[in-house]
Amino acid sequence: MKRALRAALVLASLTACGTSPEPTTFVCTQFRPGADLTAADFQAPAAIAPAYGALAQAAADVSIVSAAMLIDVQNACTDLALSLGAPVAEPRLALPRDRAGLKETCALAAELLAGRRAELSAKGVVVRPVTPRCPVDATLAEACEARCKVDPACVERSISERCKPADREGTCTGTCLGACVGSEIAPAACEGRCEGTCFGACDDGNGKEEDGCTSGGCVCKGTCSGRCTAACTPTSGGFACDATCRESCSSPLESPRCAGDVAAPSCAGDADCQNACLASASARATCEVGGVAVAVADRSEIDAELARVIASIERSFPVMLVASSDHAKGLRERASSLVDAAGRLLARSQDLGTAAAGCGLVMAQAGTDAEDDLGAVSAASKKVVSSLGP
């Protein structure tokens, strides 16, 4: 089935014209990547209209996010390569913004960054990647799933309740027993291990105080007592968190969100429809925390050229870390499931009619492109991030 469907997608893609937000192809003018397709009429039979609409919206959401991520990662690799000394006339920096161009541009950035690793280390520069958190759009998922249910009276658990405890986060008015997550703009209170930059006192774990943490911030390998630009995990017990509390709070989390996998709905309904709802919610996730924590042992050792390199790492790594994260991996898997769901719909072409069948092919093509784009950005980003070493 999947092989036959992909062959059909090649034929469908030959008719493509225009780009987002214009119609992807004249075969289906209703479908626009990134658009709100709630009111679009795909002329699908009433019995499968909810599933068809959810699939269309998911394909539109996933395809626009994956295409944008490809461009953003390639631009980040270009920025990094130039900051690392690549000449403006370097051919690999002028390649098209596509999968092949992405691979070559990021390979160049990775090569150049690996070549500076020893120098950065010698100058006392410590770079620690900060894992991004990407809470799903719970409101969208819950509203969409309600249209997929067989029994409208069935009461579904909330997205937060279907989230693994380790992936739950929100506002804690009591004591945060999990990680307290801050940002570069608003560092969080911290009494524990800081994944980002620590501002305050830092015990290296051997009874020695790290220098420079109070004034300029540092990458603290032990216990940070002060403020943290990323997740701060308590070494024992917990503490009052003035930012986002992750996983556990002594009182119920307020405004709860899920920044990981969401369990399937318990209410009976069309499985493809429900999966499409979660794909849209994942695509519309807002990645709030991520990037890198950079600390320098002696800033007097950093000249202007090396400072540009460090600044470029801080600019370029956030998008690469999102692209290589579990969130992006999960989104790629959902894109693949959309192609399978489209195949099942298209297998009923005699029930769909010409218009709905044509749009089904276009949506399946969008899912295939998204799956391939996400695979490419993940591989390219991991190559660059790993070039700095452990």
pLDDT band at 104 (very low <50, low <70, confident <90, very high): very high
Asked if 187 and 227 count as a contact pair (C-beta separation under 8 A), the reply is yes
Per-residue pLDDT averaged across 344-357, rounded?
A: 84
Torsion angle, alpha carbons of 292, 298, 299, 305, to 10: -80
Q: Is the peptide bond before 390 cis (omega within 30 degrees of 0)?
A: no
Asked if 84 and 309 count as a contact pair (C-beta separation under 8 A), the reply is yes
Per-residue pLDDT averaged across 143-156, rounded?
A: 92
Residues 6+ apart with CB under 8 A from 24: 16, 18, 31, 32, 33, 362, 365, 366
The pLDDT of residue 295 is above 80: no
Q: What is the pLDDT of residue 302?
A: 80
Structure tokens at 73: 């990662």
The pLDDT of residue 76 is above 60: yes
* Least confident residue range of 242-256, 297-311, 323-337: 297-311
The pLDDT of residue 16 is above 60: no
pLDDT band at 9 (very low <50, low <70, confident <90, very high): very low
Structure tokens at 385: 């991030």
The whole model's pTM is what?
0.84
pLDDT band at 389 (very low <50, low <70, confident <90, very high): confident
Taking only the tens place, the pLDDT of each residue in 33-66 is 999 998 899 999 988 899 999 999 999 999 999 9
Nearest to 245 by CA among 167, 164, 180: 180
Structure tokens at 33: 């990547």
The amino acid present at 76, given as its one-letter code, is A
Nearest to 183 by CA among 258, 76, 291: 291
Q: At what angle do helices 49-83 and 304-323 cross, to 10 degrees?
A: 160
Q: What is the pLDDT of residue 388?
A: 84
Average pLDDT in the chain: 86
Helix, strand or coil, per DSSP, at residue 76: helix
The CA-to-CA distance between both ends of the chain, in Å, stands at 42
Instruction: Tell me the C-alpha distance between 234 and 128, whole Å.
Output: 19
* Least confident residue range of 132-146, 179-193, 200-214: 200-214
pLDDT band at 290 (very low <50, low <70, confident <90, very high): low
Coarse DSSP helix, strand, coil percentages of the chain, rounded to the nearest 5 percent = 45, 15, 35
E strand spans, 143-273: 168-171, 179-181, 188-194, 198-203, 223-228, 231-234, 244-246, 254-258
Q: What is the pLDDT of residue 212?
A: 66
Helix, strand or coil, per DSSP, at residue 115: helix
pLDDT band at 211 (very low <50, low <70, confident <90, very high): low
Per-residue pLDDT averaged across 104-118, rounded?
A: 94
pLDDT band at 148 (very low <50, low <70, confident <90, very high): very high
